[in-house]
Structure 1
């Protein structure tokens, strides 16, 4: 066999093999194993909350013939709310036009009134999730106080008022009725405690301006400051919860920040002050959003990732700015800080979409996180607070909206490797929408 024949046979074999391999490649159907992702993006950072737990009063007062008793004590407030939860309110009607400014002031502070005070206004339609109303179409009003008129009846019905009091631009009074026996039961259970229980203190009225009277304690009182060992939260959990597609999120770090971003959103964790912010820059705030929708959207948004890591209460609603704020509370006192985003969960909303979300990046926890014994702090009386405000030439009482005791949160930097926070009781006042601290050192506090 000559060389040319051998070459032709080899070439033929190679072509046949090539055709065979190509055919097998085209027709091959491998059996793939189903790959199930074990990465879960449905994360829960903390807890979910019901609306009832977030829309809470933070003071309760009782106006007797010759004295006013009041308390921020959570258990006392809960006792009133618990009784109210079994009620069914009827005949809700807007009677705002029946009250002048002075008549409204007299209604709020007259003898025989039990007064639940909320930090800011709430839409009445939202509170329908907390207490039962017979009426299908509630008045489209807001309120910041619930007044129980325990001495007045219309027939066999007791009277409950939902009042928006002291607001710059609007004031509302919605009258509702409840079974008279229910009101009598509240009266019997509450009045004796308000007059004689140690949880209650004696208060007096401070007429701040033409629109508002604020109640302040007559005597100085002893409170406690605390030191807590706190826990930092997990940035990865928030990243997986807040971004639409966590797989397409990039991460960068600096000495003080962790930065996460995708094509439309940005999340920053400030590890110096332990706050987190998330923003959708392409979403514009919605100035037409209602209070009701703000409350609904904000609660649902945080519940979706279990973002309630401590006790928070609705503290501020501003539909004109499309903003809402839930403030951290300790022992039913609001917690404040000089650094934004460390004691409040705040949100700004666009059209059905979150625009900005800012919150603490740590969790105080519970009593087991408390270090050392509580420290006694003597807070001055309401008279001292009043005098301090009146004598301060930088303060215009026309813009004072509220006065309350709260905790000032500061980080203890003596142990930089630990996340320690001091919570110190102090007097605060709300001035043109902002809560400011009255310096204790200028008020003779120990």
Structure 2
């Protein structure tokens, strides 16, 4: 009897084992339950952008029969011309003699693209079709000129790349249609352009110089108002920290917020309008790669869609062993240079710093974005002519011309709680900073007086 019980129990255990094994083999999870599980939201704050989407010329000048023209409506013009010439094929590179460096007006059909700062050649390769087998002769350029030239009794469109930094001019052949190029330049006679004249700001020697083009006559620029939408600060806990669960929030004595995981830190500044991210790289002895900071910064920003609105590559500089790069807000083709919070540039600038290694160590940006369409366009503001502006600067008692490094008209940003107003002004880059130029124009229309 006892043996019979043992046998029965053994068979029961064997069958139970077979049953559980079968259950394990045939088990399928309840996907409906898994789908309802809350995952970390990977939504970015903006879209990823390519190099050609963040590099824009500060000025585009059309040369025709000794006259120079600039577009009134910058955004549409850039879409038609600059983007239209993106992706052109260029080859047959040659080094131009310094004696011929600024022979830019050797053709009645010429378009000049002037950038706010130098562009690395690696970025040019993303904009144009360039042969990797040919030598380019310089590491960066700050402007290029498309022009026509007769070669073997046949018209051809060429390009000159100019680098004032390295004092090099590179000439190359393009595949641009001659007939289309002529049509584009002739369009300068339409009412969508205003006449400008060249003004040499800085002379580098050997024929190299920084030239900007200023309006021959006074012209009008609209003031525009946009709604301002805040960017949620909690998004950056997920986007800028490797593990949001370890991030702690602190309230500073001045009322400002901070987030930290014990190493990296995010500070919310200026009444919630600006974010500063700090990523200390203690003991980072990694040698910096040859990768330009523009490419490093773009990778960092694309990782969380940081280039909201129309921010474009504007400048870079060295601060000892640290490199800094700036992206500037541009509204309808017009750059924003100052705000009503005069000491806070990061309402309209995104700045990043890279130390001795390859990581971004500091990142400062606005915590709001403006909607795509304006809610109001007010009466145009009259800006005095370029010659009147230069005369006013020259007559200013404490003005020192050698400290002047750039001239441009742009927007003053007036930030309110839920909207921003952009008002046109003349600006100069003076002693390393953009300043508003307050003047009374030729017709005594008050814009105030003096240099801020």
State the TM-score, normalized to the length of structure 1: 0.81
Who is 1:9 aligned against?
Answer: none
Q: Contact conserved, 1:126 with 1:292, CA < 8 A, in 2? A: no
Q: Count the aligned residue pairs.
A: 398
Instruction: Give the secondary structure class of the aligned counterpart of 1:422.
Output: strand
CA RMSD of aligned residues (A): 2.9
Q: Give, in angstroms, the shift of residue 434 of structure 1.
A: 2.5
Who is 1:427 aligned against?
Answer: 426
Who is 2:91 aligned against?
Answer: 90
Who is 2:413 aligned against?
Answer: 409
Q: Contact conserved, 2:383 with 2:441, CA < 8 A, in 1? A: no
State the TM-score, normalized to the length of structure 2: 0.80
Show structure 1 runs of 4+ deviating over 6 A: 33-37, 284-288
Change (3 A) 1:292 1:284: same
Distance in 2, matches of 1:248 and 1:154, equals 70
Change (3 A) 1:282 1:394: farther
Q: Give, in angstroms, the shift of residue 389 of structure 1.
A: 2.1
Instruction: Give the secondary structure class of the aligned counterpart of 1:107.
Output: coil
Q: How does 1:119-130 map to 2 (within 5 A)?
A: 119-130=116-127
Change (3 A) 1:271 1:80: same
2:110 alignment partner, one of 113, 116, 119: 113
Q: Deviations over 1:372-423 (max 9, x none)?
A: 44232111111121112222343322232221111111224xxxxx322221
Change (3 A) 1:78 1:45: same
Instruction: Give the secondary structure class of the aligned counterpart of 2:358.
Output: coil
Q: Deviations over 1:200-227 (max 9, x none)?
A: 1101122334333321101111111122
Distance in 2, matches of 1:401 and 1:286, equals 36
The answer to whether residue 236 in structure 2 is matched with residue 230 in structure 1 is no
Who is 1:142 aligned against?
Answer: 140
Distance in 1, matches of 2:169 and 2:95, equals 6
Change (3 A) 1:426 1:287: farther
Change (3 A) 1:107 1:353: same
Change (3 A) 1:360 1:67: same
Instruction: Give the secondary structure class of the aligned counterpart of 2:126.
Output: coil
Q: Contact conserved, 2:384 with 2:441, CA < 8 A, in 1? A: no
Distance in 1, matches of 2:441 and 2:256, equals 37
Gaps (5+ residues) in structure 2? 1-26, 204-208, 447-452
Bigger shift: residues 392-401 or 269-278: 392-401
Instruction: Give the secondary structure class of the aligned counterpart of 2:263.
Output: coil
The answer to whether residue 346 in structure 2 is matched with residue 341 in structure 1 is yes
Distance in 1, matches of 2:150 and 2:127, equals 24
Q: Contact conserved, 1:224 with 1:377, CA < 8 A, in 2? A: yes
Distance in 2, matches of 1:287 and 1:408, equals 41
Distance in 2, matches of 1:343 and 1:437, equals 15
Distance in 1, matches of 2:38 and 2:275, equals 27
Q: Give, in angstroms, the shift of residue 153 of structure 1.
A: 3.9
Bigger shift: residues 282-291 or 327-336: 282-291
Change (3 A) 1:175 1:279: same
Who is 1:131 aligned against?
Answer: 128
Q: Give, in angstroms, the shift of residue 309 of structure 1.
A: 1.6
